[in-house]
Amino acid sequence: MHYEGLSDFLSKGSAALAKGPVAMVFCEDEAEIDTTLRHHRQSGFRTLLSFMPDDFPLAPDLKGAVHRIRYDMTREAALETAVNAVMAAAPGVWMYYCYNAEYLFYPFCETRSIGEMLAFHTEERRDAMLAYVVDLYADDLNRYPNAVSLDAAYLDKSGYYALARPDPANHNHPKERQLDFFGGLRWRFEEHVPAERRKIDRIALFKARAGLKLRPDHTFSDEEYNTYACPWHNNLTAAIASFRTAKALKRNPGSTFDIRSFRWHNSTPFEWHSRQLLDLGLMEPGQWF
């Protein structure tokens, strides 16, 4: 299913948004587009939307399973524009967004579907879920110059931290149940990353609602959506295993020659399993067992 653009999809393909959860995958380059889409299809997303230029290839087995939307990710505010438009067209539907070469993991995802997890989260009266973007990187940049390898992927097993999120509207006092999270490659190579892009937290799973807006910093206009837990107990959180930062650091002429390897003493092979992320404290099962 192919659409000429976002407006064409919203006019002709809106039936695909009738039931969720809906996954939106934004393709900035050609790296691992097919594996990203397959991963989220296997997680149980009912609808997959892929935003990409016409010249990006798509595997034959995905052409009938994905709503392909012609889209230019180089335009200003491309991500927020698309997410907000799709959200406005389907209030009440659970949605998720990521980029290509990013893979969603949540507690027990090997045996439980995304629908089951979101049903439990909804029962806890939560309309959004915090996700940590966990950087992945290839072990050998000479062998994998774009820093992407599913078979030789590594992540940092430590070096993550959180800071209070100040509220400018309240004399910069900390916001309730909100934190800014840091770590991974954006922390280790922060001299190459603008300050406003160093956070690794993202409200990636959310229930669409009329008037709700995604902001450029991956937070929403409703502050309750930006909280990591309800006032009573800890809630589920998720992790997005992502090659995006590694790709950018190797693609950027200002950083690529300064980085010969992403590996350090706290690197460990990524096992592609939720148990590893739980053990490392990179997501939270909350009350879901």
Q: Are 262 and 154 in contact (CB under 8 A)?
A: yes
* Alpha carbons 76 and 78: distance in angstroms, whole number: 5
**pLDDT recorded at residue 155:** 98
Mean pLDDT over all residues of the chain?
96
Rounded Cα gap, residues 130 and 211, in angstroms: 20
C-alpha to C-alpha distance for 125 and 193, rounded to whole angstroms:
36
Q: Which is nearest to 222 in space by CA: 133, 127, 87, 90?
A: 127
Q: For residue 27, give the CATH number of its domain.
A: 3.40.50
153 in the same domain as 287: yes
Residues 225 and 258 in one domain: yes
User: What pLDDT band is residue 60 in, cutting at 50, 70 and 90?
Assistant: very high
93 neighbors 19 (Cβ within 8 angstroms) = yes
Which residues, other chains included, contact 11 with Cβ-Cβ below 8 Å and sequence gap of 6+? Answer: none
Residue 14 pLDDT exceeds 90? no
> Do 185 and 86 share a structural domain?
no
Q: What distances in angstroms separate CA 170 from CA 1, 175, 179, one per listed residue?
A: 48, 9, 16
Closest C-alpha among 135, 134, 128 to residue 228: 128
Kindly give the pairing relationship between strand 47-52 and strand 67-70. parallel
Q: Nearest CA to 102 among 220, 214, 238?
A: 238
Tell whether 196 and 62 lie within a shared domain: no
Whether 191 and 239 share a structural domain: yes
Whether 24 and 113 share a structural domain: no
Give the model confidence (pLDDT) of 171-208 as tens digits.
999 999 999 999 999 999 999 999 999 999 999 999 99
Q: How many domains does the chain have?
A: 2
| 182 and 77 part of one domain | no
* 247 and 144 in a common domain: yes
Quick one: 198 and 272 in the same domain? yes
Query: What token pair was written down for 226?
Result: 């930006």
pLDDT at 248: 97
Tens digits of per-residue pLDDT, 22-31?
999 999 999 9
Same domain, 57 and 91: yes
Question: Shortest CA distance to 23 belongs to which of 7, 5, 42, 6?
Answer: 42
Contact predicate 282/160, CB 8 Å: yes
Same domain as 96, residue 147: no
Task: Look up the domain containing 50 and give its range.
Answer: 1-100
Upstream peptide bond of 21 is cis (omega within 30 degrees of 0):
yes
Burial pattern 187-220, b for ≥16 Cβ within 10 A else e, equals: bbbeebbeeeebbbbbbbbbbbbeebebeeebbb
**How many beta carbons lie within 10 A of that of residue 226, not counting itself?**
21
Residues 67 and 115 in one domain: no
Q: State pLDDT tens for residues 72-125.
A: 999 999 999 999 999 999 999 999 999 999 999 999 999 999 999 999 999 999
